[in-house]
Amino acid sequence: MKIFSFFGSSSSGKTTIIANIISELSGSMKIGYIKNIPHDNISLDTEYKDTWKMENAGAYRIYGLAPSRTYSMVEKETSTDEIIEKENDVDIFIIEGFKAFDKSIKFLVLGSEDYLAIKHDYTITATNRTYEGESIKYPEEFNKIISILRAP
C-alpha cells in the first residue's frame, strides 16, 4: 500500500486537489483518506440528532449504518499508523494535513513559502500562486500528480 500526504497552509488548495485526485482514481483504486483535524469540535451527526445525542451522552463507540455506507467514531485518540494497518483492502491512502508523517510521499501544496522548510518530496502550486522554484502547477499539470500516485 502506498501512502501520500498533502500538507500546506490554510486555503492553499489541498482539499480541492485531493478531491480531484480521488475523483480521478476512485474507479480504478480503493482510496483511503485521513484528515488531520486539529481540534475536537467535530460530530458524526447533526446537532440534536440520534448519533449526536449518543456521543454527547458518553457513548465510547458510535456507528451510523446507512444503506450504502457505515460511519464510525470512537472516543479515543487513534494514530495514523493504526488506521492504515487496519485497512488492508485499501490500495492507497491520501492523508491531509500530516506534515510530519514520515512513512508517506509528501506533497507540499504551497500557500505560504514558510512551509518550504518542512521536508517534502514534491511542491504543488495552484494557478493563483506565484512561485519561482520547481513545482507542479495545478490544475495545468494535474496529470503529473496522478502519474506519481499511480507509479509502482
Q: Report the alpha-carbon distance of residue 66 to residue 3 in Å, rounded.
A: 28
Strands (E), the chain: 2-7, 31-35, 61-65, 70-74, 92-96, 105-109, 122-126, 136-138
Give the least confident one: 3-7, 38-42, 53-57, 144-148.
Answer: 38-42
**Triad 12, 30, 87: Cα angle to 5°:** 95
pLDDT tens-digit readout, 21-58:
999 999 999 999 999 887 777 766 788 888 888 888 88
pLDDT tens-digit readout, 56-71:
888 888 888 889 988 8
Query: Structure pTM?
Result: 0.86
Rounded to an integer, the average pLDDT of 6-26 is 95
User: The domain 1-37+76-148: what is its CATH number?
Assistant: 3.40.50.300
